[in-house]
Structure 1
Amino acid sequence: MIHPHTYIHPNAKLATNVKIDPFTVIHQNVEIGEGTWIGSNVTIMEGARIGKNCRIFPGAVISAIPQDLKFEGEDTIIEIGDNTTIREFVTIHRGTKDRWKTKIGKNCMIMAYSHVAHDCIIGNNVILSNNSQVAGHVTLGDWAILGGMCAVHQFVMVGQHAFVSGGSLVGKDIPPYIKAGRQPLSYAGVNSVGLKRRGFTIDKINHILDIYRVIYNKGLNTSQALEHLEEEFPATDERDEIVTFIRESGRGIIKRYSKNSVDEDIAD
């Protein structure tokens, strides 16, 4: 299952049924799980922990040292969850002493030419479309989707089930369940289509819509909106997650595009 023109360091730990194509290089201190396929001309450097049934396409570079001037050679890793696909020429760098690792969840799709920098934490079922560029210390929640050619500033958080339009410059945090688009990047409604596909009921989607109408449509500042939600809305997982995300936002959340715009998302 391993081509003779592949180099594997003697200390690397590979499951018995890993398949590796020619001209790939695997360094020491690497672990690769069962059923994973690695294409040709891939470089997997020290500190990689790759799960089961992953697919890594030609030209990818996994677990290179961070592009961070503060990095001092500390012993860090990158974790890649089961069933994740990494397409051509993707680069993913291992962590620094900030988080000690970079982590990619299960069932993710990292499309061609994308970059995931050091200390990023990417959840399960996340999609990074072609040429997405994710700077260091970024957190992407489960089921988040970045459109093609997005550029995400360091330390940004993107909530779960959020969708970010292609070509976006992401400098502020994006709360859960919403769409982000336009220039400058702004709130563009709730990601109702994505939520329906993942089994959210109409009632739950409308509940989320009502929460974001308070945040973006009532003319309240952020503190007032959160206080209103906690006082007037029933405690639900979605309400609590949104409120907690916004309270913990380090960079502040994206704003609405204009005061005169209206919600175009109404679940039916």
Structure 2
Amino acid sequence: MRIHPTAIIEDGAEIDPSVTIGPYSIVESGAVIGPECRIESCARIYGNTRMGAHNRVCHGVTLGAEPQDLSFTPERAKPLVIGDHNHFKEGVNISCGVKSEHGTRIGDHNFWMAFSHAGHDAQVGDHNILANGATLAGHVEVEDHCFISGQVAVHQFARIGAYAMIAGVTGVSQDVPPFALADGHRAHFIGLNVVGLRRGGFDQSQRSRIKAVYRLVFRSGLRLAEALVRAEQDYPGAETEHIVRFIQSSRRGLISIG
């Protein structure tokens, strides 16, 4: 076993004698690292991680980290299980599981480019490539031989079928079938964030006011300045004032309605 003297290996970590661990990396108690893995500098392998053989973990990678889920508590953590021959480039972050017994699972021969991410309970098969900044939200499922381009964002619970390719800067909110080429669109206004408003304590009258203002802005056919004047006249209230101020201070313009 080749471990740099600045690395921290907690008691209870199971590390194969053939593993290499670079400077300032941390392997927590409970982590399991299989044969011929290479852990480079400043990586952190959390205690819920189970890793197979011949994996390469580059600088600054975090594996098995706490999920970015506001409901998470440490006692609910489930494992991150990683297969063989995966390559995690600089800054990759993969969360442990939290809401399913199997946790987060990564198969074999996957290539994760710099700063790509998989959220809690994601399921990734074999021979997939995630380009720089590609992001899989919680519970996303990726089959085998997929190419997910840079800055792609996959919504929670969406599925990517085998041999699919997703073009860069694409937002994926629904399933992508096997063998498909998927391309994204820039953001369009498609309605109100009703769930967020309800959670934020906005009552029905407030939500109705907001909806009416946006109907004027996007659907009335009025020029924007005229629509804003009408909004303040017809639907007075704090929400209307906020919308009007925001639009009037916009420098780049508004997204269009979908």
Work out whether 1:155 is the aligned partner of 2:178. Answer: no
* Deviation digits for residues 205-227 of structure 1 (CA, Å, limit 9, x no counterpart): xxxxxxxxxxxxxxxxxxxxxxx
- In 2, Cα distance between the equivalents of 1:66 and 1:43? 14
- What's 2:6 paired with? 5
**Cross-structure match for 1:39:** 40
Tell me what 2:90 maps to.
88
> 4+ residue runs of structure 1 moved beyond 3 angstroms?
none
- Aligned residues: percent identity? 34
Whole-angstrom distance in 2 between the partners of 1:75 and 1:102: 10
The amino acid that maps onto 1:85 is H
- Residues of 2 paired with 1:168 and 1:183: CA distance? 6
**Which of 125, 128, 134 is the aligned partner of 2:127?**
125
**Deviation for aligned residue 1:70:** 2.4
- Amino acid aligned to 2:183: G
Displacement, 1:76? 1.1
The TM-score with structure 1 as length reference comes to 0.67
Deviations 1:179-221 (A, max 9, x none): 1114269xxxxxxxxxxxxxxxxxxxxxxxxxxxxxxxxxxxx
Aligned counterparts of 1:37 and 1:54: Cα–Cα separation in 2: 6
Query: C-alpha distance in 2, partners of 1:97/1:150?
Result: 24
Aligned twin of 1:105: 107
Tell me how far 1:145 sits from its aligned partner. 1.1
Change (3 A) 1:14 1:150: same
One-letter amino acid matched to 1:121 = Q
Question: Which residue number in structure 2 is paired with residue 140 of structure 1?
Answer: 142
Shift of residue 100, structure 1, vs aligned partner: 4.0
Structure 2, unpaired ranges of 5+: 188-258
CA contact (8 A) 2:33 2:52 kept: yes
Q: How big is the shift at 1:147?
A: 0.6
| Number of residue pairs the alignment of both structures matches | 185
| Alpha-carbon distance in structure 2 between the residues aligned to 1:182 and 1:122 | 21
CA contact 2:40–2:57 (8 Å) conserved in 1: yes
- Return closer, same or farther for 1:75/1:134 CA change in 2, 3 Å cut-off: closer
Distance 1:154 1:75 in 2: 18
Paired with 1:49 and 1:119, the residues of 2 have a C-alpha distance of 14
**Cα distance in 2, alignment partners of residues 19 and 98 from structure 1:** 32
TM-aligned CA deviation for residue 66 of structure 1: 1.1
| Inter-partner Cα distance in structure 2 for 1:65 and 1:182 | 30
The superposition leaves residues 89-135 of structure 1 with CA deviations (integer Å, 9 ceiling, x where unpaired) of 01000001334410111000011011110000000001101110111
Counterpart-to-counterpart distance in 2, 1:20 and 1:162: 35
Match for 1:50: what amino acid?
A: M
TM-score in terms of structure 2 length: 0.69
Map of 2:20 onto structure 1: 19
Q: Give the AA of the match of 1:138.
A: V
Q: CA deviation at 1:167?
A: 0.9
Aligned AA (2:98): T
* Aligned-pair CA distance for 1:75: 3.9
